[in-house]
């Protein structure tokens, strides 16, 4: 019978041991982009029936103003999701020591609560008159029961908070899974069933955050912010590549050697 070299036997034995021990080669992380499908803001009080879908700047501060963002997710295996980062770009000149709150609209298999319409007004009421705008997003018709936390449809999940120690105009506000409570961001995305997710953001205290909307098409986007809008990036780790095949070959060759 053909003799195997010492180096070949060592390599095959190692591969066989790795295979038998369940050791696998981990895939490199991959970043998946998403699509910003809609962005808007809502205001309470006398502006409750107003739509701001056409605004170039969106404002959020508790309890009266809320930034809304809806993303369309790509087709992917959500079990591989390891991280995600939501990024908004500051339109404030300068803010400091502001706490941002991040919420997510609970998944709705039918997609009815997540199908809110951005609209095109910049602060006009949708109440009465032309009925074509009746379903455009306002504080008075917003889904989620105005940040009513809990499980089930038409409720929201508070993902967590993040303190902005200082920020200047055009700089990013980021919120990653590590900023969320108990992996809330990744868990929320994994629970999605219709490839559509909605986030709501606001500042606490008296200082509102101001973020650019996708309606802002100024040269800013070509120079400072190439994306031109808020983004949601998903990080997945591809399924591990098993050493099973190499291990099987090794066991076959070693068995052949013994005989």
Q: Is the pTM of this model over 0.85?
A: no
The burial of 189, by beta-carbon neighbours within 10 Å (0-12 exposed, 13-18 middle, 19 or more buried), is given as buried
Residue 60 contacts residue 221 (beta carbons within 8 Å): no
Residue 255 contacts residue 13 (beta carbons within 8 Å): no
Query: For each of the chain's 259 residues, which pLDDT tens digit applies?
Result: 455 554 445 444 444 444 444 444 557 899 999 999 999 999 999 999 999 999 999 999 999 999 999 999 999 999 999 999 999 988 887 888 899 999 999 987 776 788 899 999 999 998 766 677 888 999 999 999 888 888 888 899 999 999 998 888 888 899 999 999 999 999 999 999 999 999 999 999 888 999 999 887 664 544 555 555 789 999 998 866 544 444 444 455 445 545 5
């Amino acid at each position: 019978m053909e003799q195997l070299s010492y180096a070949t036997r060592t390599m095959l034995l190692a591969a066989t041991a790795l295979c038998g021990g369940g050791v696998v080669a981990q895939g490199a992380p991959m970043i998946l982009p998403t699509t910003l499908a809609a962005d808007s803001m809502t205001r309470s009080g006398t502006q409750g029936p107003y739509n701001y879908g056409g605004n170039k700047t969106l404002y959020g501060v508790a309890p009266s103003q809320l930034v809304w963002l809806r993303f369309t997710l790509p087709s992917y295996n959500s079990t591989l999701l390891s991280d995600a980062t939501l990024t908004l770009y500051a339109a404030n000149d300068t803010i400091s020591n502001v706490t941002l709150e991040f919420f997510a609209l609970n998944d709705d298999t039918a997609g009815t609560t997540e199908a809110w319409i951005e609209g095109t007004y910049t602060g006009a009421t949708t109440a009465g008159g032309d009925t074509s705008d009746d379903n455009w997003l306002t504080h008075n018709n917003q889904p989620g029961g105005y940040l009513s936390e809990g499980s089930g449809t038409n409720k929201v999940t508070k993902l967590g908070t993040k303190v902005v120690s200082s920020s200047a105009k055009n700089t990013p506000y980021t919120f990653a899974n590590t900023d969320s409570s108990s992996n809330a961001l990744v868990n929320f995305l994994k629970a999605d069933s219709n490839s559509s997710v909605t986030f709501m953001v606001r500042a606490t205290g008296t200082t509102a955050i101001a973020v650019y909307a996708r309606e802002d098409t100024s040269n800013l986007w070509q120079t400072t912010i190439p994306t031109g809008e808020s983004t949601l990036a998903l990080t997945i780790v591809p399924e591990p590549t098993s050493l099973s095949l190499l291990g099987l070959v090794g066991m076959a060759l070693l068995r052949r050697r013994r005989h």
